[in-house]
Structure 1
């Protein structure tokens, strides 16, 4: 946990006073304090980058010091994700990342995998440096450890999916956990495997590596199956897996009760025929004819730039108010006709005439 001195507490009390709020209206105190120090904000959660490490040729690890506004939000739990915002070419972009640090750590550790064509990952890999300030927008996700810790736990990860499960392992170690832990991590090659040194140093954890494009230095050959499960931990009491859908499916095939998460965008089922209805982006005064794609894609095709993040229905950054009409969730297939409801436009398609506050 952070230790706050009397000086920051006094500063925060002064900044929250009604008099200061009145004097700084209509913009609010944050718009003035951020000119002095970008993280001195009461309403905006932000963090300063205090360390940057490029562990592999395809990843960058950031150590972040969050401000008081972020620390005032609900506490982060191991396995959850955080929405991180940066400005790229004049646009504010948001993506969700799972911290790799243990719960209650003073700093947040994010490892961002480099994606071809990924605007945020490319920007951070090339430009992240100590002193850089990023936006933070709370925590979310149900991929967490149970309150009653199992006694035999198997963790499986692939690629950048290592971060939430590493956070769980580090949390257990910090708690003084005395049960059995096995950790299996898959990467394309040994040089692309994040946290190799950290995994090797974990006390009391059986660590096995599998490399899908090279057998050099691998403990496991091939992809996850019965042999890998037997080598890591036969009959685990609990299994947590995060990585590409193929890995998650393979683990769940042999461990049906496994808790899982994947940050790879799902394949959306787009209607075979567009409804041809009128999609009205009311705030912008723009109307389009429905072409069957998500509301986010149709808005962007119409020249609008709505804020968005994960583009897969996880981070909720793109949530907008649907004032009227029927829509379909492209992941679940659920149809809603309720007026005046919030929808995630990245995974929502219109059915007939729809009006969105955008």
Structure 2
């Protein structure tokens, strides 16, 4: 029975591939289109990865083990990649830190479900083995230290550091990780068993949030170490103010003081959609809420996937505070994920 079933399955697979090949050869397609038609992981123009394993780390955090396609480029420890999900026929992209070491047979990304998050919730709770996800080239400058390291992380901020810890033979490293309870620590068992790394867990449920002064008491030789930090904005802001040389990775864009626009009506000229945007709301967020299919990636001003040309009116960059006015620079590219309107404006999206 099993041999017959397997043979029938092989015939079905062979027939499916033959039909796919016939469809691709019947149209004047590019070579990459032919490869993608034969196998979804062979395309270089639309790279994808297949989910081959899913591991629940905590109640709201999941690691996906991915087999990337031919187009995937090697990453450096600490970098991130764009991960795309097709939901109701539309691709939605977010960026996630790569938690596996370079050269591993499978790529790992660890996702924490954000309340109300369309992509993070589906990736963390509803992406079964066998699923295909889009994958972009690795990016990011938050990479492994060259000196004696001190890592300060909180919550999902452990994810880019985890790739560094897995990739290097560290003999004198310190990790201070902040989390609400021991059970909430992502990779807790692995972290506690790391050789050559002094791991200090700080549980806020019992001790409150640490200050830079408290961390200096925990790690007295901190000034002699290369400090890398990743976590919530409040922690990173406090560390950068107290320790000027700290290297940080932010999952949310840092906003300059007094960067809100006045709000206004944004016209997306390519789609014809009009959105009323509040002063503190990024144009990307408001456009999506109005039903526009807006390009996006990191959603924090880094990858420039969301850029559109400002053809009328003015916007304020919420990171730098800079005002961009189409009257002075018609057609200027603006990052919609970190820009808010200052009055009515038009963007070619």
| Coarse TM-score class (shorter-chain normalised) | 0.7 to 0.9
Shift of 1:48: 1.3
Query: Residue 5 of structure 2 corresponds to which residue in structure 1?
Result: none
Partner deviation per Cα, 1:279-337 (whole Å, 9 max, x = no partner) = 44222234567764433244335432213244332343322233455432112111234
Q: Is the 8 A contact 1:58 1:192 kept in 2?
A: no
Shift of 1:245: 1.3
Task: Spell out the pairing of 1:67-216 with structure 2 (5 A cutoff).
Answer: 67-71=69-73, 75-145=74-144, 149-150=146-147, 152-173=148-169, 180-214=172-206
Q: Is the 8 A contact 2:282 2:338 kept in 1?
A: yes
Query: Residue 17 of structure 2 corresponds to which residue in structure 1?
Result: none
Find the aligned partners of 1:164 and 1:315 in 2 and give their Cα distance.
Answer: 17
SS at match of 2:191: helix
Find the aligned partners of 2:276 and 2:214 in 1 and give their Cα distance.
Answer: 53
Structure 1, unpaired ranges of 5+? 1-19, 216-220
TM-score by structure 2 length? 0.81
Q: Say whether 1:45 aligns with 2:44.
A: no
Q: Is the 8 A contact 1:94 1:317 kept in 2?
A: no
Deviates more, 1:263-272 or 1:343-352: 263-272
Partner deviation per Cα, 1:165-216 (whole Å, 9 max, x = no partner) = 122222322xxx55x211111111111101112112222111111111146x
Q: Say whether 1:322 aligns with 2:310.
A: yes
TM-score by structure 1 length? 0.79
SS at match of 1:62: strand
Find the aligned partners of 1:330 and 1:26 in 2 and give their Cα distance.
Answer: 46
Q: Is the 8 A contact 1:79 1:98 kept in 2?
A: yes
Query: Residue 5 of structure 1 corresponds to which residue in structure 2?
Result: none
**CA distance 1:205–1:253, shift in 2 (3 Å):** same
Runs of 4+ in structure 1 off by over 6 angstroms are none
Partner deviation per Cα, 1:44-100 (whole Å, 9 max, x = no partner) = 2211112110011120011112111123xxx42222211111123433211111111
Find the aligned partners of 1:83 and 1:169 in 2 and give their Cα distance.
Answer: 22
Query: Residue 271 of structure 2 corresponds to which residue in structure 1?
Result: 284
Aligned equivalent of 1:348, options 325, 339, 346: 339
Query: Residue 245 of structure 1 corresponds to which residue in structure 2?
Result: 233
Structure 2, unpaired ranges of 5+? 1-21
**CA distance 1:131–1:232, shift in 2 (3 Å):** farther
Query: Residue 234 of structure 1 corresponds to which residue in structure 2?
Result: 221
- What root-mean-square deviation, in Å, do the aligned CA atoms of Structure 1 and Structure 2 show? 2.9
Shift of 1:27: 5.1
Aligned equivalent of 1:223, options 195, 210, 213: 210
Q: Is the 8 A contact 1:78 1:168 kept in 2?
A: yes
SS at match of 1:55: strand
Find the aligned partners of 1:250 and 1:326 in 2 and give their Cα distance.
Answer: 32
SS at match of 1:228: helix
Shift of 1:160: 0.6
SS at match of 1:143: coil
**CA distance 1:302–1:55, shift in 2 (3 Å):** closer
SS at match of 2:94: strand
Find the aligned partners of 2:228 and 2:37 in 1 and give their Cα distance.
Answer: 44
